[in-house]
Structures are given as structure tokens and as C-alpha cells.
Structure 1
Amino acid sequence: MSNYWSQYWQQGHLTSFGEDIKGNYSGPLKQVWQALFAPLNESHRVLDIATGNGALVSLLYDDNIQNSLPAVDAIDLAKLQIESSLLTRSETTKFHDHVNAEELPFTDDCFDLIVSQFGIEYANWNKTLVHVARCLKPGGKAQFVVHNSESTIVKPNSAILKMNIELAKKGGPIDTLKSLCQTLQKQGKGAPLAEKHRNKLNKIMNKLVQQDEYAFKATNFHLLARSCMQSISQIEQVSSLFSAFESERKGSVERLSDLINAAVDDKQKRKITQLIAVNGLKLELFDVVSNEQNLPLAWQIQLVKPLK
């Protein structure tokens, strides 16, 4: 995993995709966890795989009406930035960064519940399910909410990924904006060559807006163009703007590529179902979680480790 994910979590995001769910997971996503978390108390031990910034742990805390918190181990492969309120809420909750879900460093039969929300699918299912089966206690449960390739999360982010790639094509929006800035700095406003670049840039941007306004605005390229024009006389400032934008664009491309590749389609669903059985786990549920408009939001997977 690249440093882009560590940088992403350090910015305080709750989710692995474009827009955070305000205030934590809510609606249908929250509902799939509430019934599972309700019976938990201090006698239980929970593992949260690919915790991100601890959104599921926070939800578990918020829904624990017994005020009897289970022991929680929350792991992630990236460097984490956990809010102090989560770090200090319970002495039995431990966050571990740089831990690979494919090589869980825990003893056999030690967890009552293993969970993951938009995280476990980024790992290798073959390797991870071996450790899930090993670490679950007999009778223990696992629930994973994973990206669905047809979901209202994946499809818009796929469009944003394509738009970010389009921006960097040779002679495309970024190159044209750079040419415009360089010409304005050398020849000044109103120079024929500057107007040529400006007209080309406007034409390209209008075309991309017509193609997919949401995806285009999500790249923030229009904000880069505006900032460059406002700072055009400051050469170093304009250069810094381009550098910062390119760093964020590359990070977005990497994160969203990971998301698209991790999203589960029907073919992968069948493969995962087979792997669950191979590892001696019982599949109880593998179904679509839908939003309020009845559109696919994610897959919900529930497993049980049979009693010996």
C-alpha cells in the first residue's frame, strides 16, 4: 500500500471513498451494524479489519447502551490518525496501524466478532479468510460490508477516476492551463497566444462539464484554474498550486483505482462464497444493502464459525 492511503487517513476522512458520511455512518449502513453490536458487552472481544479512522469503533461506542464496552482491536495497513476521543474512550480498545489483514498477528480462536466496513475487500480474500477462520472463536461471527461494483458509491467514483485521468492527458486541461499561465506571465494579459490558450481551455472545460459535471467538479480542477488566474503574477505561487493539485490528483487516482479494483461484482461474489466454505465457515448472508431510493449501496456478508 502506498503512502497515499496514510496521507488520506491523516486528513481525518471517515470513509475510503470520495465523500464522508456526515457524523459517521448513517441510514442503511448504520442499521446493518446496530443489531450486531447491541448484545456486545465487556465479555466479548472484537476485531475491526481495515479500521481507517475508526468509524466502526465509534459507531460501536455510540450504540452501546449498556455502557459495557467489549475489548476491541482495530487494525489497518496504513498509518492512522485516530481522534483522541476514540483513543481514550476505553482502555480495552487498541488501534494498530501497519497491520496486514492477510497476516493477522492474533492467536487462534480469540475473537467473538470480526467486522469490516469498506476495507477487507482491499486485501486478498484467499489469504484474509484463512485468518478470519483461524482467529474466530467457535460460534463466533463475522460481518463485512464491502463495495458493490454497481453501487451508488462505486459508479460516481469510477467517473471521478476517469475524469482525473483525462485531466492529465497530453495537451489536455492541465497542460493547457500551464501553457496559459506561462504565456500570461511572459507576455501579459491580452496577448494573442494567451487568448488562444484561454479559448482552448474554456472549450475543454465546457466539454468536460457537459460530459459529467459532478465528476469534473469533484476533481477541483476548476478551483485550480481560478486560483492560478488570481495569483498569475506570483510565479512561485502558481507553481506551488500546480504541485499541490498534481499530488492530490495522483493520490485520488491511486485511491479510486484501489476502490474500483476492490469492488465486488457477481463473479467475485461466487468466488468469495466458495472461499468461505473452503475455510470451514458458514455463510449466513451475502446480500445487497440498498439506500433509501432502493439503489445498491454495498454488499453485506455475514459468517459464522461452526462449533467444534
Structure 2
Amino acid sequence: MTGASRGIGRVAAERLLRDRPDQLLLVVVRGEEAGRRLARELAERTGNANVRPVSCDLGSLAEVRAAAEAVRAMLDEREIPPLAGFLGNAGVQMASAAKVTADGFEATFGINVLANYLLLRLLADRFEAGARVVLTGSESHFGDFRHNLGLVPAPRWTSTRDLARPGTGPEAETVTAGRRAYSTSKLGVQYLVHAFARRFPELDVYAYTPGLVPGTGLARDAGPIQRFGFRWLLPLLWATPIATSPQAAGVKLAAAMTTARPGESGAYLDRGRVVPSSPESYDEEREEELWRGSAELCGVPVS
């Protein structure tokens, strides 16, 4: 599991440890010390010590490779049971489109799309048949007011190589550009889910959206006014159908991994319900281009 240290991911990790005490939870965390601390805190809060950290900065493809190698080595030595699933919850939303990963990629695309792609590619052959893969998506990939209240601009898809290139100039430094990069990356998550579902029929691969979840650290890279609003004002919407609390969203995220098979592989889970994702997200040509482009950028074979 990635993204287990805060927000809905922290709630989901605790829920998984409580509901599945017989399974080992591997949490992918940036930094060895942070990983040990998170594993210790999760064990103390849940009473289940069946959790181990894997050190990885998802903003570095070299570290993603090292993390995958560490997991493969543990599997080879039978230190851990066969992989029964993957919950890719880590994600970022930046205040601009100009920030870069360690590899020079635009940070939102690099972490939300390329890191998930590479980690799954490197571990795909080690999952049990019937294993479940869930990637956290976002309603923002629809790009309309009904799904994001106008808070995030609509995605703007181009080519994989162009999307991985950081923005330049004054426009790229704006919050609007950062949020558009976010919605575009979440459209990319939909494409990844469809492409993985086609290529790995022995796995069940889903995109999960928690809906609007104010009160988390997702907007931590925004300015002070935006952070204040997301942290303290928008949570007033928890009492309405428009928004979901981090606690409720985290419980549903964990359920996406543990409940009976929710639908056909490749489905979009809106707070646990199978619904169609955006019309734009069903573009096999884009999905295949993203697969090929990501393979090239990550240095792995296309097939």
C-alpha cells in the first residue's frame, strides 16, 4: 500500500489491519525512519503488528525500482506471503505545473501516474491469481461542475511525453496549472487501470474515487488561503451528500480492497459503487499510447 501515512490512506491502513489480522500489510513510505515510525504507530493503534515498511520516494524511479526489488527479495526468501493485492493511494496535487521529480518529470504526473505504472509493472508477475489492484482516482477527471464544484479545471490530455514534461513560464506557475495537472493525472489513472486490466486478466484492477474529501492534506502544497479553506471551511460540506469525511472515505477505501468482487476488472468505483467513469476515460488509443510512453520513460519493455 502506498499513501498510508495520512488522510484517508491512514484510516484505510488501520481498517485493513483490524479487519484482516491474518494478512501482512506492506506500507510504502518515503524514508526508512518514517517507515519504521508508521509501522510502529499502526501496530500500536490497531493491536496488529503484522505490518512492515518498504522505503521508497515515489518521486524517484530509482527508488521505485529499489522498493520493488526489496519486495521481490522478501518474496524469494519467503519472508512474506505471496502478494494478494496492491492499494495505490499515494498522490499529490501541486500549486503549479513546474515542480519536478528526481527524474525531471512534472511532479504530479510523475508521482500519480509513472510511479504507479512502474511499481505495478515490476511486481505484476508476483501477484497471486485473483489479486486485487486498486488505484485511487478522482472525480476531477470528469472535468465538469457536477463532479468537482468548479474547484479543479478539466483535464487536458496530450501525449505521455508532453504530460511528463514540466511546465515553463508564468502560466505554469499558477495554481490553475497545478490543479489541471492533477485532474489530467487522474484521467491518466483511469487509462492505466483499463490498460492493466486488459494485459493482466488474472488480476482484478479498479480505480476508486472517494469523492470530495476536504480536511485532508491533499492541498498542502497550495497557498495559505486555499489550505485554510480546504482544511476548515469545506469540511462543513461533510453533512451534505456533496462531500465525505476522511474517516468515512478511508473506511470505503479499505472496503474496496476487502469486499466481494465489486465488478468486472477495469471498473470505476465511486465510493464503492460501480459506475461509468468519464466518457473521455474510455479511449483505448490514449490508453495504449500512455502504456508505451510510460514504458519508454520508465525504462521497461512495452510488452
**Higher share in strand:** 1
The TM-score range, normalised by the shorter chain, is 0.3 to 0.5
Please identify the structure whose Cα radius of gyration is greater: 1
TM-score (norm 1): 0.39
